[in-house]
Amino acid sequence: MDLKNKIVLITGGNSGLGKATAKLSIEKGAKVIITGRDHDKTKSVADELGATPFKCDVTKDEEIDALYTFIEKEFGRLDVLINNAGIGIRKSLVELTRDELRQVYEVNVFGAAMVAQGAAKIFIKQNEGNIVNIASTASLKGYPTGSIYSTSKFALRGMTQCWQGELRKNNIRVIQVNPSEVPTAFGDEENRTERPLEENKLTPEDIAITIVNTLEMDKRAYVPEVTVHATNPF
């Protein structure tokens, strides 16, 4: 798949993995739409990269509907969805609350599903398309304080496998990417302040390269799931 002139939608595209993937996709010649809840920040990043900004909170169906109405009107098609919007809360079982579970699941599970639904409707009509779900190594193995975040990514992994089974007959590739720890704004849900990179940890660019490499594979083949670890993060 040649990304030149392809239409790529990246949720949560105004920082971290999403921003790095938008930058690399644009360098490859793609036309990229990035979304975020903070419109001013999203527009600023879009102006910096040469992307198209769109305010979208993935917990609100009306904003998702507006996003796809905009894409169909402005671009007439969609080639790639990178389902990247996500949040995390670390709490032990005896500390967590129902509201915290709901908050994370609304974004990481329900939001991811509804955004993917909108893309899938377009892709089925086109008889081709690509969905990339950004999960985590937390989708592969639980850990202490992971009852909220890890289980949300387990759910995303399950949905990825369901969508693979449903959509392959429509030439739609569904790919899950599992990064291990990447220093980003993730986890700072109030301020969304980017953490400094660490020499021995993964970078957002490492994951962007992984995503683009899987997309650039000939469309007769696809990678169902890829996990990326730092070689020596200790």
Please indicate whether residue 143 is annotated as part of the active site.
Answer: no
In angstroms and rounded to an integer, the radius of gyration of the C-alpha atoms of the chain is 17
Q: Which two tokens stand for residue 80?
A: 């790639």
Q: Which amino acid is at 44?
A: S
Q: Which two tokens stand for residue 138?
A: 């937390």
Write down the catalytic residue from 68, 105, 149, 222: 149
Write down the residue that tokens 């980003």 correspond to.
184
Which residues have a Cβ under 8 Å from the Cβ of 92 and sit 6 or more positions away? 144, 145, 147
Going by the DSSP 8-state scheme, the letter that residue 184 receives in this structure is S
Pairing of strands 52-55, 31-36: parallel
Gap between the Cα atoms of 81 and 100, Å rounded: 27
Residue 220, classified by CB atoms within 10 Å of its CB into exposed (0-12), middle (13-18) or buried (19+), is: exposed
Q: Where are the alpha helices (DSSP H) in the chain?
A: 16-27, 39-49, 61-74, 98-105, 112-126, 149-167, 204-216
* Residues taking part in catalysis: 149
